[in-house]
Amino acid sequence: MEYRKLGNSGLTVSEISLGNWITHGAQVDDGTAKACVRAALEAGITTFDTADVYSNTKAETVLGQALKEIRRESIELCTKVCHPTGSGHNDRGLSRKHIMEACNASLRRLQTDYIDVYYAHRYDPHTPLEETFLAFADLVRQGKVHYIGVSEWTAAQIAQGSALAKELRVPFIASQPQYSMLWRVIEQEVVPASTQAGLGQITWSPLAQGILSGKYIPDQELPAGSRAAAEAGAPFFNNLAGQWLRDDVLIAVQQLIPLAKEIGLTLPQLAVAWVLQHPYVSSVIIGASRPEQVLENVKAAGVKLDRDFLSRIDEILSEWIERDPARTG
Ligand code: NDP
């Protein structure tokens, strides 16, 4: 594993993080979830990503159990607030009331005294931003949260947040957007705004939820046990099927497999390595339904790809790369 600073802050993160959306507390049993966490720790991953909303709060509980024997100072534990965690009108959003209640609940489920990076999971247009950042500032002063991040915020929202963070002296250090060979909407606006604000990117879905593993073959049945097969039976709240599970995209993705082989990588490793080539990325969050996937994907750490090689990827995927910054969030 290799390690990077998160934005302009002093916090070090592993350049590959493990996240537990859809997997822990839902798609995989607790034993498998723990085995994935163990595999990550053994591979040198120190940064773990979850959210209160994942698996309706169960994902935090599973992660808290999996990490409870681990020396707290040796890992970075990150979670998020904003999406609904109950049916009450204050069980969502970025109001002071919900942030304070959600943070305390996350701490209990994660069995820890503090969160390393606490994210606003989305922008909340119904709450004054100043109220949100004041609540974050108080959590930081109370020692319950060390650093603040945001997820899927636009460039303008990041700039507003950064101005308030400076005024309130809040350590605002991370942006968590989707980023992969297929989804590059942050490049034009979010990355420059983040760099200006001193934020590092901790990016999600490097495999486009498994599409960039190459295991979905055009015209063939969905592989048993895969996320797409599970979604076909019991939809999770994602857009996998609508977006990329189409023959034209899958045919292009198949062409990346021999390219990856040329440099001794598997396609999942190439997909993770591609994200890591960008200096504004502090860490790539991988997901895994089996420990073997963690062991395979972490081998992307430290891989360098040259310019010509990156251009060949772009040529193969060009028609399907999404770059429109308006699709942020
Ligand atoms: P990926 O794009 O890495 O997809 C992970 C999934 O791909 C795995 O669960 C597995 O699914 C499949 N996979 C992984 N490795 C391999 C492999 N080597 N071979 C074949 N299949 C493989 O990331 P996720 O979409 O899971 O997102 C990662 C994390 O990002 C989340 O856990 C979460 O922490 C964060 N996130 C944040 C969001 C936000 O709004 N801030 C939104 C979404 C995610 P399977 O085996 O079931 O097919």
Single out the catalytic residue among 3, 54, 119, 280: 54
Q: Looking at the domain assignment, is residue 262 inside a domain?
A: no
Centre of ligand 1 to C-alpha 143, Å, is 31
Q: Which of 187, 208, 172, 148 shows the shortest CA–CA distance to 327?
A: 187
Q: Identify whether 119 is a catalytic site residue.
A: no
Cβ atoms of 95 and 64 within 8 Å: the answer is: no
Alpha helices (runs of H) in the chain, residue ranges in sequence order: 30-42, 58-67, 96-110, 129-142, 155-168, 190-197, 227-233, 240-244, 247-254, 256-262, 267-276, 291-297, 307-317
pLDDT value for 9: 98
For 182, the domain range is 3-208+278-304
Sign of CA dihedral 39, 30, 229, 321: negative
Centre of ligand 1 to C-alpha 230, Å, is 13
Q: Looking at the domain assignment, is residue 259 inside a domain?
A: no
**For position 23, which CATH number holds?**
3.20.20.100
pLDDT value for 231: 78
Interatomic CA distance for residues 325 and 329, integer angstroms: 9
Centre of ligand 1 to C-alpha 33, Å, is 13
The answer, yes or no, to whether any atom of ligand 1 lies below 6 A from the CB of 208, is yes
Count of structural domains within the chain: 1
Nearest CA to ligand 1 atom 36: 204
pLDDT value for 241: 58
Interatomic CA distance for residues 50 and 67, integer angstroms: 13
Cβ atoms of 228 and 240 within 8 Å: the answer is: yes
- In a 3-state reduction of DSSP, which class is residue 201? strand
Question: Which numbered atom of ligand 1 lies nearest the CA of 122?
Answer: 40
Centre of ligand 1 to C-alpha 229, Å, is 14
The answer, yes or no, to whether any atom of ligand 1 lies below 6 A from the CB of 201, is no
Q: What is the pLDDT along the chain (329 residues), one digit of tens a residue?
A: 999 999 999 999 999 999 999 999 999 999 999 999 999 999 999 999 999 999 999 999 999 999 999 999 999 999 999 999 999 999 999 999 999 999 999 999 999 999 999 999 999 999 999 999 999 999 999 999 999 999 999 999 999 999 999 999 999 999 999 999 999 999 999 999 999 999 999 999 999 999 999 999 998 999 998 999 887 766 554 666 568 888 999 999 999 999 999 999 999 999 999 999 999 999 999 999 999 999 999 999 999 999 999 999 999 999 999 999 999 98
Q: Looking at the domain assignment, is residue 61 inside a domain?
A: yes
User: What is the DSSP code (8-state) at residue 170?
Assistant: -
Q: Looking at the domain assignment, is residue 313 inside a domain?
A: no
Nearest CA to ligand 1 atom 44: 204
Q: Looking at the domain assignment, is residue 312 inside a domain?
A: no
Q: Looking at the domain assignment, is residue 228 inside a domain?
A: no
Q: Looking at the domain assignment, is residue 14 inside a domain?
A: yes
Q: Looking at the domain assignment, is residue 270 inside a domain?
A: no
Tokens read off for 71: 């020396």
Interatomic CA distance for residues 99 and 109, integer angstroms: 15
